[in-house]
Amino acid sequence: MTENAPSPDYETEYNNRARVPEHPGLIAGWQADATAYREVATCELGLAYGESERQRFDLFKPQEARGDALVMFIHGGYWQALDRSFFSHMARGLNARGVPVAVVGYDLCPQVTLGHIVWEIQQAAAALWRRYGLKVVASGHSAGGHLAACALATNWANVGTDLPERLVPAAYGISGLYNLKPLTETSINDALRLDMESAERESPFFWPAPSRLTMDAVVGGAESAEYHKQSRRIVDVWGLEGVQTRYEEIPGANHFTVIADLADPDSAMTRRIAELAGA
């Protein structure tokens, strides 16, 4: 008779800053690269989709638009840190391939609930469609991957009667979190304040699968086993329910370096998201 495998140490598995001690320098690098890109990009900054100061997006425009969608990039930070100003350069690669990119901000926990953040991202996608008349490919990193999957699985008739059924036809989650229940056992939850019921309610893993739509889940090869499991499971479960899913590991990448390829127009990551946007 085999013994039951020990349960994962979720605190260790999900504490990315402890896993990557050099993270302060990497985050400082994001800020510097983002600032540099804003100085040379064709962009509109601080466009409002809601009432709060964080309910804004920055639109980065290509010289010549191709495709039939724009990309909404949603930053990470466990729904409680960072803001859109760290991530302007995430538009660089896609802009070079003819794709407009809206880098969106949102309010943070514990000032608002995680469910409110999901609602804000839905409002942001709706505002983008109403303003530009383009479908929205949702792309996000870490907590942003969670929010991108939520956008994909949203019933848009519940958000606005004027919105198309397939407002978000595709999502590209980078090191995303799709089942939030494990986080209830970690210090991350100090700000999120999730119980098991709210963790399930805000987890796209437990939502009706967005059948016939497209979900890519990619993860850094050097990330924790739990992060690999998160991406594999959403791909497996949604794939069985009619979603066009794809799983990929980025060799050698950790939780902070995994998004670096978005700044490169020739990377496989950029090419794939541009393909999802019809470019």
Question: Residue 2 pLDDT > 50, yes or no?
Answer: no
**3 state SS of 146:** helix
Q: What is the pLDDT of residues 71-102, one digit of tens each?
A: 999 999 999 999 999 999 999 999 999 999 99
d(CA 68, CA 219): 27
Query: What's residue 6's pLDDT?
Result: 61
The answer, yes or no, to whether residue 230 has pLDDT greater than 50, is: yes
* Mean pLDDT score of the chain: 96
Q: Is the pLDDT of residue 1 over 50?
A: no
Check whether 239 has a pLDDT greater than 50: yes
**CA angle, corner 241, sides to 239 and 246, nearest 5?**
15
Q: Which fold has domain 18-276?
A: Rossmann fold (3.40.50)
pLDDT tens for 190-203 read 999 999 999 999 99
**What percentage of the chain carries pLDDT values higher than 70?**
98
Does residue 3 register a pLDDT over 70?
Answer: no
Domain boundaries, the chain: 18-276
Report H helices in the chain: 10-14, 16-19, 23-40, 92-96, 114-132, 143-152, 189-192, 196-201, 225-240, 268-276
Q: Which helix (H) or strand (E) holds 73?
A: strand 69-74
